[in-house]
Amino acid sequence: MKVLLFGASGLLGTSLYEVMLKKGMTVLAPTRQSVDLRNPDFLREYLRQLNFDVLVNAAASSNTDMCEERKEECFKVNWIAPSIMARCANEKGAIFIHYSTDYVFDGKKREYFEEDEPNPLSIYGASKFYGEREVIRAGGHYYIVRTSLLYKENGNNFLSRIPEYILNEKEIICTPDLVSAPTYVPYLAEASIQLIDKNPPYGIYHISGGHPMSACEFISLFSKVIGKSPVLKRVMSNDLNRKASRPHHSFLNNFKYVALVGFKPERPEVYMRRIYERVYKKQAE
């Protein structure tokens, strides 16, 4: 199976690339240097010349605050590029897997299902919502995977420095009022490939960690798993004066994916223990 993967250097893309190679897929993963997604004409021409069975788009302008200042770039990468990819994948009869976010919602509903109406609060959220709409309009064999608050053992993510802070009893600032569904990236990568293997009906899927939690609750649970007490400074999100607004309760219910594909995430404690054992245990001893 021939796969074209955009965003292979990112948090999710690196895990996807690993899983794809393990499964024996032939993967072409163009870097930003060879295909800059801000250039729609180049992207269209590039895609026309290639043959692939599956197109996976893990690329994004993913910095929520930066998108407020660099709206044009954010719209090109998160809205225009997926639109072109979806149309080209459709012309070739390929499966298209595209990622979106809980930030398409306004967070007033506490729990979100696939058919809930998006109402983004930020430029980033809007760009991802417009991208989703274009993928749906293009039709064909698409999976839009909405996910939230990604974490894993390596790479730049919200968990990256937390264990080090806990182990060294440094203060950690966290927001108790933003509740989402933290998602372990290797699980998301494997779950994405299972969409190809099991081929459930095309459409939108929420693939998340499945347990609603604020960052403060996540850190407290992680500390419990490693037997330490965190030094937490709880700050309400509005007091952080960040450029972009974020939804307060954007928990993505993953019932549809689990019911149709049957691959459930473990409890967060299982992933936390795995991360601790693999990366931090030696450091703590």
Ligand X SMILES: NC(=O)c1ccc[n+]([C@@H]2O[C@H](COP(=O)([O-])OP(=O)(O)OC[C@H]3O[C@@H](n4cnc5c(N)ncnc54)[C@H](OP(=O)(O)O)[C@@H]3O)[C@@H](O)[C@H]2O)c1
Positions in the binding site for ligand X (CB under 6 A): 7, 9-13, 32, 36-38, 58-62, 77, 99, 101, 128, 147-150
**Max CA distance (Å), the chain:** 56
Residue with tokens 């250039």: 39
Phi/psi at 144 (5° precision): -100, 115
Residue with tokens 């809007």: 126
Residue 116 or 228 having the CB closest to ligand X: 116
Residue 101 or 223 having the CB closest to ligand X: 101
CB closest to ligand X, residue no: 10
The nearest distance, CB 130 to ligand X, in angstroms, is 13
Residue 116 or 167 having the CB closest to ligand X: 116
The nearest distance, CB 20 to ligand X, in angstroms, is 15
CA-nearest of 243, 242, 248, 252 to 102 is 252
The nearest distance, CB 94 to ligand X, in angstroms, is 18
135, 86 in Cβ contact below 8 A?
Answer: yes
Residue 167 or 217 having the CB closest to ligand X: 217
28, 2 in Cβ contact below 8 A?
Answer: yes
Residue 135 or 166 having the CB closest to ligand X: 135
Element (H, E) at 29: none
CA gap 39, 227 in Å, rounded:
49
- For residue 200, what is the DSSP state? P
The nearest distance, CB 43 to ligand X, in angstroms, is 9
C-beta atoms surrounding 124 within 10 Å: 26
Residue 188 or 261 having the CB closest to ligand X: 188
The answer for residues whose C-beta is within 8 angstroms of residue 160's C-beta and 6 or more apart is none
The nearest distance, CB 166 to ligand X, in angstroms, is 20
The nearest distance, CB 120 to ligand X, in angstroms, is 12
SS3 content of the chain, % helix, strand, coil (to 5): 45, 20, 35
Residue 167 or 221 having the CB closest to ligand X: 221
- Interior CA angle at 11 toward 10 and 15, to 5°? 100
The nearest distance, CB 122 to ligand X, in angstroms, is 12
